[in-house]
Structure 1
Amino acid sequence: MPPRLVRDRLTWVMYVQLSLWVYFLYGFGPVAPILRDELRISRTLAGLHGTAFAAGGIIGGLILPRLTRRLGRGRLVWTGLACVSTAAVGMYAAHHLAVTLAFTTLASIGSAFTVNAINTGLTDHHGTAAPAAISEANAAAAALGLVAPLVVGATFAAGWGWRLGLAVVVLPVLAVAWYAHRHRIRLPEPAGYGAATALAHRPLPGPFWLALTSLFATGSVEICLTLWGSDVLRSHAHVSPGVATAGVSALIAGMVAGRLAGGRLLLLFRPARMLLAALGVSLVGFAGFWVATAPWPAMAGLFVCGVGTGLHYPLGIGLALAHSDGQPDLAAARASFAVGISFGAAPFALGALADRVGPHPAFLLVPAFVALSAVAVLRLDRVTLPPPARP
């Protein structure tokens, strides 16, 4: 009998908490070309915002195990969302590259706290239905993220600036904090919570590292599309800056659709096989986006690409946690390194290459990352297949 996903109040609160971070991420991503024009910097320097995301993820991953034991998952989530809110408001004072990088790093540290506590919380709370819950949580997050480029693009087009579009995230953070406090909603705490000394960790098994490799590659795909997709829309599909910023919503709409479908399919099919299928869909959509020279075909390609891309992270983190040898919090912390490094290395490499050959040819890095993930997942699927039944 397939597992059953039960959505209680705690589940919905975790969905919303994750969504609030994703609003900031997808709201800030399309701003990269506008920020580059505003600060009068090169694509290479603008790509440093990806490096800042990476630095924050790595810092967060380094301190996560100790903080999780000391603070617990509940306090860790709210600490993370406080960092994100501070960064969103702080962008009002960010008119220099060093300041925008500092607030980007702070938001990324907050994301490491929030995302990993929620992923492990969903895993503990839902058991065998956890992969479906993680996919559904990311679908909800992408749904709110879909609104972010539209809001940021609208405030920019109206002359109010992109910063207002980011700062509005503070209001729902306060609202959900009030709701959780009023109804006494708490995340399940990890083993060793409140321990004065560190618990010994076992080495993470080989299949986990294959899942981590896939997370690095698919994180690179997602951040490249999010940060530089609007630039390709402007340079190759002849879309205006404001419309290109909002046009990234096509990618996020596809991610919502993919994750909603994935939540149901994961109750029936193996996650590794699902991830391989999602990589194939991403590749098809990317091809349509890359060859398009007009706005609507390019956005249609982004949508199809998003259908596959939307499943990359929830499936990847689900596989990593499932193969952690009973150490989900440690696995989540290590996953922050992979995602953090991808967020730093991939956009910087793409930006540096785009300064040399242009953003359109440079975007061919994306299918290379898709191929890397496919190789890792194929290997993972082979080593974790159940042995054949004896006649």
Structure 2
Amino acid sequence: MLGPVIPFLRAEQKTSFTAASFHFSGFALGGILVALAGERLAGRFGRRASVWGGGAGMGAGAVLIASSPILAGTVAGAFVMGSAGALMLITIQASLTDHHGTASSAAILESNIAASTCAIASSIAVGALAGTALGWRGALLAPACAYVALTLFFRLERPQSALRPPSARATATGLPRMFWALWVVTTLGVGVEWSLAYWGADMLVASGLAPSAAATGLSALFAAMVIGRVSGSRLARHLGEPTLLLGALGTALAGFLVFWLSGIPLWTVLGLFVAGLGVANIYPVAVAAATLAAAPRTEAATSRLGVGAGAAVLLAPLTLGRLADGFGIATAYGFVLPLLLIALATTAVVALSDNPVPEAAPSSLRH
């Protein structure tokens, strides 16, 4: 949601690339702080309250961004969204891994399909509403209203027990080396994904598109991520996680090179689409593999993964924004290339390891 509105915020607030990147820095910082306490929060309030409370916080942050006329207010809204979103993400990933076990790759991919579908809708909505009386802010307010409707529809009940059994709460002590290798892949993958999502619209503008067309064009990334995750969820039932990751990273690298180097609007959008097909599966598959490698410490694992992901969201767009201020957005995107190459090399090491990630159970998630 933040990526498509950034060109409009920059235009209204008359800010630089670096100042605009503070929105994602605030989003990431909120995520990091919550991830550091993720295990304790889930244990204190329970998973149900964590998920629904996180959704309420996301809606509140979106309203704050839409209503604030100044940079400090919109960055604060991003911080609230990042904090609440991280709480939801940590809880959902741990729950899916606990429930599906070695079939969790397909389950997490399918949950991300829904997330990507919403990202497409938000990107299209920003571009479509920008020229109407509602303006681009209408696209931020709509999800908050939808969340209120869902809350009323489900009529939330207080869970019978807010605490999980002490034996189910784990610490990060003794997480294996395989987990940390996959943590690196996850963190770098998030850096790539958010660099494309955050600055992709500005790159499309640099290639010759108008801001409203670029905001809509960014939906190519999110559409590709839906397609990639649908395909990935099927492949995850038959292939191991390292194999899926190698394919995803190779596809992302090929698409990124076209996106970065073409300089022609059509080819830039096409490259973004191909990159999205690959990027789609890096995060969910790496998270599933890392969580399985750390089992049964699922919440310890997802919390540490959340810290890495938050750090990537904090640092990658900010670094790219600083480089864009100095050298232009096209040159700055060269920063993404080593992220992909290091992730690819690390995944290759994991694939060749003598202590591989547990194999998926192909039949356990078939409908």
Establish whether TM, by shorter chain, passes 0.5: yes
- 1:348 is aligned to 318
Determine the C-alpha separation between the residues in 1 that align with 2:171 and 2:131: 54
**Residue of 249, 257, 270 corresponding to 1:279:** 249
Letter of the aligned partner of 1:151 in structure 2? A
Query: For residues 91-130 of structure 1, what are the alpha-carbon distances to aligned partners after superposition, in whole Å with 9 as ceiling and x for unaligned?
Result: 2332111111111011000111111111111112222221
Query: For residues 323-361 of structure 1, what are the alpha-carbon distances to aligned partners after superposition, in whole Å with 9 as ceiling and x for unaligned?
Result: 114100011111111010000111111010011110001
TM-score by length of 1: 0.86
Deviation at 1:293, TM superposition (A): 3.0
**Residue of 28, 53, 56 corresponding to 2:27:** 53
**Residue of 145, 150, 156 corresponding to 1:171:** 145
TM-score by length of 2: 0.92
Contact kept? 2:63, 2:77, Cα under 8 Å: no
- 1:140 is aligned to 114
The share of aligned pairs that are identical, in percent, is 32
Determine the C-alpha separation between the residues in 2 that align with 1:185 and 1:299: 46
Determine the C-alpha separation between the residues in 2 that align with 1:117 and 1:38: 36
Deviation at 1:313, TM superposition (A): 1.0
- 1:251 is aligned to 221
Letter of the aligned partner of 2:256 in structure 1? F
**Residue of 161, 165, 175 corresponding to 1:204:** 175
Contact kept? 1:282, 1:307, Cα under 8 Å: yes
Deviation at 1:139, TM superposition (A): 1.2
What's the secondary structure of 2:119's corresponding residue?
Answer: helix
Determine the C-alpha separation between the residues in 1 that align with 2:83 and 2:172: 23
Q: How does 1:164-313 map to 2 (within 5 A)?
A: 164-181=138-155, 193=164, 202-235=173-206, 237-313=207-283
Structure 2 portions without partners, runs of 5+: 358-367
- What is the count of residue pairs matched by the alignment? 357
Deviation at 1:185, TM superposition (A): 11
Deviation at 1:79, TM superposition (A): 0.9
Determine the C-alpha separation between the residues in 2 that align with 1:197 and 1:269: 29
Contact kept? 1:205, 1:325, Cα under 8 Å: no
| Closer/same/farther in 2, CA of residues 286 and 193 from structure 1, 3 Å limit | same
| Closer/same/farther in 2, CA of residues 374 and 266 from structure 1, 3 Å limit | same
**Residue of 42, 65, 68 corresponding to 2:16:** 42
**Residue of 53, 58, 77 corresponding to 2:51:** 77
Letter of the aligned partner of 1:330 in structure 2? A
- 1:328 is aligned to 298
Contact kept? 2:186, 2:309, Cα under 8 Å: yes
What's the secondary structure of 1:383's corresponding residue?
Answer: coil
Asked whether 1:92 is paired with 2:66, we answer yes
Deviation at 1:141, TM superposition (A): 1.3
Contact kept? 2:65, 2:75, Cα under 8 Å: no
Contact kept? 1:72, 1:194, Cα under 8 Å: no
Query: For residues 141-185 of structure 1, what are the alpha-carbon distances to aligned partners after superposition, in whole Å with 9 as ceiling and x for unaligned?
Result: 101211111101111122422211111002332333344447x79
Contact kept? 1:133, 1:263, Cα under 8 Å: yes
Contact kept? 1:70, 1:195, Cα under 8 Å: no
Letter of the aligned partner of 2:181 in structure 1? L
Query: For residues 171-225 of structure 1, what are the alpha-carbon distances to aligned partners after superposition, in whole Å with 9 as ceiling and x for unaligned?
Result: 332333344447x7989x99x7165998655321111111111111111101110
Asked whether 1:374 is paired with 2:348, we answer no
- 2:308 is aligned to 338
- 1:357 is aligned to 327
What's the secondary structure of 1:157's corresponding residue?
Answer: coil
Contact kept? 1:219, 1:343, Cα under 8 Å: yes
- 2:37 is aligned to 63
| Closer/same/farther in 2, CA of residues 159 and 171 from structure 1, 3 Å limit | closer
Structure 1 portions without partners, runs of 5+: 1-26
Determine the C-alpha separation between the residues in 2 that align with 1:381 and 1:292: 32
Query: For residues 13-40 of structure 1, what are the alpha-carbon distances to aligned partners after superposition, in whole Å with 9 as ceiling and x for unaligned?
Result: xxxxxxxxxxxxxx22121222112111
Determine the C-alpha separation between the residues in 2 that align with 1:199 and 1:326: 8
What's the secondary structure of 1:41's corresponding residue?
Answer: coil
